[in-house]
């Protein structure tokens, strides 16, 4: 995947959220400047509506995780609307990514250069860079 220089990379799961920048070249990402925004997960209503039927029946959908994904999207939306993000790559587990997509602002969507649906929050930076290059 081509990741522009200075692009933001949001790495998200149901509990963790890290934002990094690409200090490398487009086809050789070098992630740096890790930031862990403090989120307040407040949007629980969306998760109730969007959890899958089997998750509802078996109680496997964690509303805290979905609310965290919604909060991460809202935080990114605020940066996009303020003009503080030019390019963004989102890396998130499939369930969190699905919830985040429901909350993307149109300004954020304009700045998306890609999405990777993998859980990478606990991976070392080198593995994340490899996943970006391979995507």
Task: Give the model confidence (pLDDT) of 53-71 as tens digits.
Answer: 555 555 555 677 888 899 9
DSSP assignment letter at 91: E
- pLDDT of 33 reads 85
Per-residue model confidence as pLDDT tens digits over 111-133: 999 999 999 999 999 999 999 99
Domain boundaries, the chain: 8-134
- The tokens 């959908």 sit on which residue? 61
Per-residue model confidence as pLDDT tens digits over 90-110: 999 999 999 999 999 999 999
Pick 58 or 80 by higher pLDDT: 80
Q: What is the pTM (predicted TM-score) of this model? A: 0.85
Q: Using CA atoms, how far apart are residues 68 and 58, in angstroms rounded to an integer?
A: 21
Cβ(7)–Cβ(32) below 8 Å: no
H/E run at residue 81? helix 63-81
- The tokens 């490899």 sit on which residue? 130
CA 13 to chain centre: 8
pLDDT, mean over the chain? 87
Say whether domain 8-134 belongs to CATH 3.30.420: yes
Lowest pLDDT segment from 4-13, 56-65, 81-90: 56-65
């Amino acid at each position: 995947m081509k990741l522009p220089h200075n692009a933001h990379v949001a790495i998200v799961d149901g509990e963790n959220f890290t934002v990094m920048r690409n200090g490398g070249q487009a086809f050789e990402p070098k992630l740096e400047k890790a930031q862990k925004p403090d989120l307040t997960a407040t949007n629980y209503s969306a998760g109730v509506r969007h959890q899958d039927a089997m998750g509802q029946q078996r109680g496997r959908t964690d509303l805290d995780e979905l609310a965290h994904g919604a909060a991460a999207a809202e935080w990114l939306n605020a940066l996009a609307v303020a003009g503080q993000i030019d390019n963004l790559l989102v890396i998130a587990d499939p369930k969190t990514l699905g919830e985040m997509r429901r909350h993307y602002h149109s300004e954020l969507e304009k700045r998306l250069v890609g999405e990777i649906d993998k859980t990478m929050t606990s991976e070392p930076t080198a593995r994340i860079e490899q996943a970006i290059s391979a995507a």
